Structure 1
């Protein structure tokens, strides 16, 4: 029981202090789990990060879940997820209740949060573009992905874009050399159990929409299905889930676009994974019960995929064809993120010249002045409040 409690305590501490998005989270994890506690060596950690980047879902949360599983088995994975996720879930539920109780959706500081979201996503586009689309072929893939995403706005379009990009990456990059063999790590999950997890993931992805159609209505089952599907089909982390979730909750009438973007901005102000925006959305739709259902639903695919893939990863990561497909998918992710920067973020948040000035200042603070994200969020809150008096 001691390793399990240790995983919970350490992950909770990280959940309270890890600002800055998935890349920053991985830095926090490396410092805590590898350098300070020596739960795994450098190469094993790099292998786990590579696996999380290969799988759909929130990369930093999946790395945490994987470390928890390797440290304390199945329950260790659950403890790592709860610890890292709980702080931001609680804060976002409280924010949603505040939004509903006091009708602050049009407040100046809420508008500031939306502009913060513009700056942070712009930074992510720049950073990811430099790493994932640095040459002509991959940049072209990113441009086409952004174009199709903007002109054909549906959840299925993004799935087809990622599949097509994976196929192109396979054709162009399948001859790439694999990485060196990693250190042997004992995985407390058998291949049979891994296959069961992968089967459960796929069965729910296919079966839940059918059950939803048969049952009908817009209750908690519909909420669970929407968020489970969104969590299952996202490559590239939290920023990329934004357009998927927006198309799940806004056109259906569950909430307004303004409320959705306010929640996205608020998610930037709290530590932990960006996927916890599900807690805010669920709370806005169906109270605390809805928040818990949405949160479990959006993270469940990440848990099933990580637990299912861990026993097979040592084989997969040396397969050049799989790596080639991933190169194409990552380039398309940059394009999808670029499209999300324009719609819904830019067209909703940047409406006046002073909005653009604030977004530009916040972007400079992030990219060039290297200020911590929490400080940029505070600056955005203050800037939005001041803009309300201009």
Structure 2
């Protein structure tokens, strides 16, 4: 199978599993990308960090991985793969949702997706922390940022600045 088709299949399947946003599929995305031999877990974690620091939607990881793997065509393939299937499904479900909005079963399904998406996002954080935290200092910065974000409800940018300062001081 060609590289572009494989990229599309990986990101297209992740698109359909992205309950709670593209970040909820990052652990599986990382596993599949690393299994292809396109990059190691650390390189993937660095691309993910760049995608999160960049302005714009949080699914920028797909075009960045695509760019790393196959240049401009790979970036476009990754973007179409991560956006196309889920956008199409969302459109179809939104059209159908108008008819089923008052159905109590439909409301229970939507309510059940909330804890699922939270769990998937937390799994993403754990997988990326394992890939990026190479020593005690990095692990401590990750723990402080995670705990601070969860329990203080502060803007995550403050913890990003904290991590940058710690990194700059440790040079």
Normalised TM-score (structure 2): 0.85
Shift of 1:297: 1.3
> Hey, what's the Cα distance between the residues in 2 that align with 1:307 and 1:341?
29
* 1:255 and 2:46 are equivalent in the alignment: no
> Is the deviation greater in 261-270 or in 325-334?
325-334
* Partner of residue 214, structure 1: none
| Deviation at residue 364 of structure 1 after TM alignment | 5.7
* Aligned partner of 1:352 among 132, 135, 150: 135
TM score, norm. by length of structure 1: 0.40
State the Cα deviation string for residues 93-120 of structure 1 (Å, max 9, x = none).
xxxxxxxxxxxxxxxxxxxxxxxxxxxx
Tell me, what secondary structure is at the counterpart of 2:59? Answer: helix
Do 1:268 and 1:377's aligned partners in 2 also have CA atoms closer than 8 Å?
no
Within-5 A mapping of 1:9-20: none
- Tell whether 2:104 aligns with 1:320: yes
5+ unaligned residues in a row in structure 2: which ranges?
none
CA RMSD for the aligned pairs? 2.2
Q: Is the 8 A contact 2:16 2:85 kept in 1?
A: yes
Tell me what 1:245 maps to: 29
Q: Distance in 1 between matches of 2:161 and 2:2?
A: 37
Structure 1, gaps ≥5 residues long: 1-216
Q: 2:36 matched to 1:219? A: no
Q: CA deviation at 1:233?
A: 1.7
Select which of 159, 163, 166 maps to 1:376. Answer: 159
Instruction: State the SS of the aligned residue for 2:39.
Output: coil
- The residue aligned with 1:228 is 12
Task: Find the aligned partners of 1:369 and 1:226 in 2 and give their Cα distance.
Answer: 34
Q: Name the CA distance, whole Å, in 2 between partners of 1:270 and 1:340.
A: 18
CA distance in 2, matches of 1:374, 1:340: 19
Q: Quick one: distance in 2 between partners of 1:356 and 1:224?
A: 33
For the residues of structure 2 that align with 1:247 and 1:356, how far apart are their CA atoms? 21
2:78 alignment partner, one of 294, 318, 321: 294
- Distance change >3 Å, CA 357–CA 226, structure 1 → 2: closer
CA distance in 2: counterparts of 1:376 and 1:225, whole angstroms: 35
Provide the secondary structure at the position in 2 that maps to 1:346.
helix
Query: Is 1:332 aligned to residue 83 of structure 2?
Result: no
Name which one, 1 or 2, has greater alpha-carbon Rg. Answer: 1
Aligned length: 170
Question: CA distance change for structure 1 residues 379 and 326 in 2, over 3 Å: closer, same or farther?
Answer: same
